Amino acid sequence: MRTLTRKERIVVLLSTYQEAIETLRVDGEGSGMNEDGSESVMLLMSGTWHRGGYAELERCLCRLLAEHSRLYWHVIQRYIRSTRRVAVLRRHSGGFGLAHNEVIVGMPIAIGNGNCRGIVESWHPSVDPLCVDMAVEWIARNYRGDPTLPIEVFEAVAA
């Protein structure tokens, strides 16, 4: 199995960022008192957030927004605001006939009559792939340390 490049790991982190955010939870069990005497509510982040490079990715995204808002828009639309759906795909001579802003995620499963069932990811049609690539390059250059993938994500990517 080959090792993912720095840029590829950034793309995996971007692609799984929304799921990592959804693992956050608010724990109202109390974590002491605030300076003003009110009860503190602590935002606890899951092990996935901590073991992965999401906190550093978030820092980079905030900086990208401040310094290059156009690139930020394109990378966010492509990876974080993209949507996935299960679709029946029919193979044509030139492929599956997907729109320019769609890709098949993983391997489609043949269901007969030349059709396949697969997961199709789509994003805003105005996303410019060159801007997305420039944004990923910028994040890779500005990311502090080694972009690490949580074991759960690494195992899914390796499968």
pLDDT averaged over every residue in the chain = 81
**Nearest C-alpha neighbor of 82 from the set 102, 54, 99, 55:** 102
The pLDDT value given to residue 83: 94
Does 122 have pLDDT greater than 80? yes
Calculate mean pLDDT across residues 64-86. 96
Q: What is the rounded CA–CA span in Å between residue 131 and residue 147?
A: 21
Q: What is the rounded CA–CA span in Å between residue 15 and residue 12?
A: 5
- Residue 31: which pLDDT band, with cuts at 50, 70 and 90? very low
Return the DSSP state at 85: E
Calculate mean pLDDT across residues 4-32. 73
The pLDDT value given to residue 90: 85
Whether residue 80 contacts residue 58, with contact meaning beta carbons closer than 8 Å, is answered with no
Q: Where are the domains of the chain?
A: 6-81+127-158, 83-122
Does 45 have pLDDT greater than 60? no
Does 33 have pLDDT greater than 50? no
Calculate mean pLDDT across residues 103-132. 92
**Nearest C-alpha neighbor of 6 from the set 45, 48, 70, 57:** 57
If one counts every other C-beta atom within 10 angstroms of the C-beta of residue 108, the result is: 18
Calculate mean pLDDT across residues 6-14. 94
Q: What is the rounded CA–CA span in Å between residue 10 and residue 127?
A: 18
Q: How far is CA 9 from CA 25, 71, 88, 136, in A?
A: 25, 19, 30, 10
3-state helix, strand, coil in the chain (%, to 5): 45, 25, 35
The pLDDT > 90 percentage for the chain reads: 48
Does 26 have pLDDT greater than 90? no
Q: What is the rounded CA–CA span in Å between residue 75 and residue 133?
A: 8
- Residue 32: which pLDDT band, with cuts at 50, 70 and 90? very low
Does 154 have pLDDT greater than 80? no
